[in-house]
Amino acid sequence: MIRVKLQDSIERGYLRSIDLFAGCGGMSLGFHRAGFKCVSALEIDENARNSHVTNFKKLAAPEDYRAYDDITKVSPNDAVAHLRSHNKMDECVDIIIGGPPCQAFSRLGRARLWELNGAKHSHANDDRATMYQYYLEYVARLKPIAFVMENVREIGKFVGRNIAEEFALSAEDLGYSVRYTLLNSVWFGVPQLRERAFIIGIHKDLSVTPQFPTISHKYTLPVGYSTARAGLGKIEFLPPHDHYIDHLEYCNKTYKAVTAKNAFADLPPIFYHLDGRIGKGIPRSPNEMSEYLKIRNDYTDEMRNWPDFESNGNGFSGHVIRYTPRDYEIFRRMPHGGMYPEAIDTAMKIFHEKLALASRETGRTIREGTNEWLAIYKSCVPPYPTNKYPNKFRKMWPDHPARTLPAHLGKDSYSHIHFDSEQARCISLREAARLQSFPDSFRFCGSMNPALKQIGNAVPPLLAYAVAKKLRETISNAKMNH
């Protein structure tokens, strides 16, 4: 049956994919570019699901695409019912892709769950830590040619368990050859240091072992990234880890990493927030169009000319920012690479300057703790504790890729302060999308905050494309060799 499905996909011209925990569609987009068409998507978040529909329904043949919400309430049979007029259930889908919720696995997610529940290790009891079991059910019922599951690196160290290995063993029992590894998005042309675990399974009927894409962009990763130790024999997953691959294979020709400055090169600077007339409460439409600058490079051209998502020189949307007047001067003065401790140091200098100025103007000393003193302090210094998240603020370096974009981007954007001190702001919605490698014509549904959350949660499309391209090459070779 598997070989028949593969032959059918070759005659059809594309492989049919189902995207579980799809988000707005970062995985679907990368796979689409590699010759896979999404025919079904499951995503519980309404804005993200609407984004997926907006971008992918138009790319499918009529009646070949549906989107559903809660995977716990949608059976595999229901998810492919629209394709079953001429197919049995296990004939409908060739590839399963997706990334189950990572909050219970990730370090930031764990800390938040502890805080909410008032108990350390409460993440072990989070329902989201078992959502990958629904993924396995879809594999068992739909019998795809192959699957690709993505998650955070901590999936290999969850309450003393290697969930990636457990998943691999379960999938092996279902008839799949499975391997997993850590990949960093910067290796594949994404202007961002983002590492993720990828678990790939290919049905044993094809007699091939899953392969991972060769690295096309070189970059010396900083301390703190597990992928900085790739190729050194250090296994980043708890034992057992028999299906783990220590991946560090380069292309014959490699390129320099794409930097934040490269990524933003043709996006116009933003200064309107600094004139004092625009601030909180002023509506910002993510759909407002902006014009490109004439500066271009390979990366900006890729974002403007992504197949089926070409901008055609018509400008772009989403170049909108949050208004945080208290912080503009902090942003301006912070050093590149500066984080929250540096932000507080900068804010305190600004505070003492304003305090001295107020004392000169009034002709008297403003005493500490008075209402006047507190008013000046609050106008300059952020209220967040300094002992929790030192990277709550970070000012990007222009000549390096950005650090990992978090889903928390939807609540504030302090983790990615623009490197241009004159603009004195956090990155815009479109800039965030550029750092994730979403093309400019990709549409995000909802207001700015939900859109930023979708971007922070997504798999970078260029990373997904590299994985998908290698997968298609592997299974195509299997067909040719037999």
Tokens of 447: 């207001």
Spell out where 163-319 has E strands: 176-184, 195-203, 215-218, 250-256, 289-290, 305-306, 309-310, 316-317
As annotated, the active-site residues are 102
- Nearest-CA neighbor of 239 among 162, 127, 349? 162
Q: Is 154 exposed, middle or buried (0-12, 13-18, 19+ CB in 10 A)?
A: buried
Of 321, 256, 298, the residue nearest 437 (C-alpha) = 298
The helix (H) or strand (E) run that includes residue 18 is strand 15-20
**Tokens standing for residue 439:** 């093309």
CB 435 within 8 A of CB 260: yes
Give the span between the Cα atoms of 408 and 442, in whole angstroms.
21
226 touches 153 (CB < 8 A): yes
Among the listed residues 413, 449, 457, the one whose alpha carbon sits nearest the alpha carbon of residue 270: 413
Q: Would you call 417 exposed, middle or buried from its count of C-beta atoms within 10 A (0-12, 13-18, 19+)?
A: buried
Number of Cα atoms under 13 Å in the Cβ half of residue 278:
14
Name the one residue in this structure whose structure tokens are 């559903």.
68
Matching residue, tokens 């996006």: 267
Separation of alpha carbons 468 and 97, rounded Å: 10
